[in-house]
Amino acid sequence: MTVRFKGKSPSRRAFLKGTLASTAGAIAGAGAASAATPDPLITEKQSWAMGLGDGVDATPYGLPIKYESDVIRRNVEWLTADTISSINFTPIHALDGTITPQGCAFERHHSGAIELRKEDYRLMINGMVDQELVFTYEDLERFPRENRTFFLECAANTGMEWAGAQLNGAQFTHGMIHNMEYTGVSLRTLLEEAGLNAAGDLKDKWVYVEGADASSNGRSIPMEKALDDCMIAFKANGEALRKEHGYPARLVVPGWEGNMWVKWIRRIEVMDGPVESREETSKYTDTLANGTSRKWTWVMDAKSVVTSPSPQSPIKHGHGPLVITGLAWSGRGAISRVDVSKDGGKTWETARLANPGQPMALTRFYLDTEWNGEEMFLQARAMDETGYVQPTKHQLREVRGENSIYHNNCVQTWWVKSNGEAENVEVS
């Protein structure tokens, strides 16, 4: 299945119509306003203050209140041939904090989201192990468990932007990402249960992992990573994985491209070389300007994006205090610093991290600032604990050319106009 990253022919739309209409009036006044007439929401008795709300039996499992019904995953129809082997995007422009609720965390399937019961789940470990084993779901729950929070970013996140500013919204440019707290068993524990003496020197060994769905999405992972921090997860954010994220169990490969996080994982094979499967040769490889291609580009480099203000989250309030916020992450470790520029990269100021960066997990940043209707070219730039600094698109193109699709971690620019509206642009 191919994901297309070049644009389609332009079409008409009225993307910002709604938000702009409500913006215009609000922007006029600035500072602490004084009311001319009393606010009827305060002076008049309201129905919700007089009648009754829902009982505790109304919603055994709750969805967000209807007023938040626009905070949803969205897909881009022209990207793929159909919606079964396709992708959608997390509404990062409307979320805050760092944990992504499962219900709006992006999905990527190659053969659709299957429904696999725990009772029908089997996990096999085979190949160069002392004893080839089969586990049931119940078996998995009897191993010592760990809880760890990681981001999962699709290698194609921001892929549509290689050729230039294309999609107007942080959800679409950067929404192939989510961040969850996983509960599960370390892959090392399971491999040791099968025994690795038969594999001999582990340094040049690999594990091949595949899922139970029709795509099976097989990937090869070097043994060093497999034994370091990979997990078989069965819970996310405290509850069972959603089917679209691999219920009942998926692989977690911290900091590495999302395609390797095999969902509905059914088999782990210890091997003496990589399988060179479709997903690690024809896809997820990076073709350079001279026509040669990089493979095994597993680590997701440091990256950040301002989530608000942004095209889908324009400034709707008046002049004065403004919270600029966004997300930063690195597959090489913890985020150490995020800088924000309002002038397209001429000058930078260091943002406040909501919490110290955690390795290979999303970090929330804020810049508490003042805005008086001036035009801004908003950018964020992440640094990680290895000293890596998120590059500009120019810097990336200098090394990689313009034919790449995956692993685009460039600095993003939002052009915030004087009316508070924002647009995805590329700047010199």
Q: Which is nearer to another protein, 237 or 336 (CB)?
A: 336
What would the x/- binding string for another protein be over residues 27 to 66, using CB under 8 A? ------------------------------------x--x
| Residues 386/306, Cβ–Cβ less than 8 Å | no
Under the criterion CB under 8 A, does residue 2 sit at the interface with another protein?
yes
Task: Report, in Å, the least distance between residue 227 CB and another protein.
Answer: 9
Residue type for position 207: V
29: which 2 tokens? Answer: 């006044």
Torsion angle, alpha carbons of 139, 145, 150, 156, to 10: -10
Task: Report, in Å, the least distance between residue 203 CB and another protein.
Answer: 7
List binders of another protein among 294-313 (CB under 8 A): 294-299, 301, 311-312
Q: Which is nearer to another protein, 239 or 398 (CB)?
A: 398
What span, in angstroms and rounded, lies between the C-alpha atoms of 151 and 256? 9
Task: Report, in Å, the least distance between residue 36 CB and another protein.
Answer: 34
Q: What one-character DSSP code corresponds to residue 63?
A: -
| Residues 391/409, Cβ–Cβ less than 8 Å | yes
Evaluated on CA atoms 274, 277, 279, 282, the torsion sign reads positive
| Residues 316/322, Cβ–Cβ less than 8 Å | no
Task: Report, in Å, the least distance between residue 368 CB and another protein.
Answer: 19
Task: Report, in Å, the least distance between residue 174 CB and another protein.
Answer: 13
Q: Of the candidates 110, 123, 100, 106, which has an alpha carbon nearest to the alpha carbon of residue 232? A: 123
What span, in angstroms and rounded, lies between the C-alpha atoms of 187 and 252? 9
List binders of another protein among 62-81 (CB under 8 A): 63, 66, 69-70, 72-78, 80-81
Q: Which stretch binds another protein (CB under 8 A): 20-28, 38-46, 187-195, 232-240?
A: 187-195
What span, in angstroms and rounded, lies between the C-alpha atoms of 262 and 208? 10
Q: Which is nearer to another protein, 96 or 343 (CB)?
A: 343
Under the criterion CB under 8 A, does residue 284 sit at the interface with another protein?
no
Under the criterion CB under 8 A, does residue 7 sit at the interface with another protein?
yes
List binders of another protein among 155-174 (CB under 8 A): 164-169, 172
Q: Which is nearer to another protein, 73 or 317 (CB)?
A: 73
Beta bridge partner(s), residue 377: 343, 415
Q: Of the candidates 427, 351, 356, 359, which has an alpha carbon nearest to the alpha carbon of residue 393? A: 427
Among 118, 242, 243, 266, binds another protein (CB under 8 A): 266
Q: Which stretch binds another protein (CB under 8 A): 43-51, 104-112, 242-250, 319-327?
A: 104-112
What span, in angstroms and rounded, lies between the C-alpha atoms of 78 and 37? 50
Among 142, 323, 354, 368, binds another protein (CB under 8 A): 142
List binders of another protein among 364-383 (CB under 8 A): 377, 381, 383
Under the criterion CB under 8 A, does residue 183 sit at the interface with another protein?
no
Please work out the total of residues on this chain that contact another protein, with binding judged by CB under 8 A. 140
Q: Which residues of 328-343 are buried (b: 16+ CB within 10 A; e: fewer)?
A: bbbbbbbbbbbbbbbe
List binders of another protein among 229-258 (CB under 8 A): 229, 254-255
Under the criterion CB under 8 A, does residue 110 sit at the interface with another protein?
yes
103: which 2 tokens? Answer: 């219900």
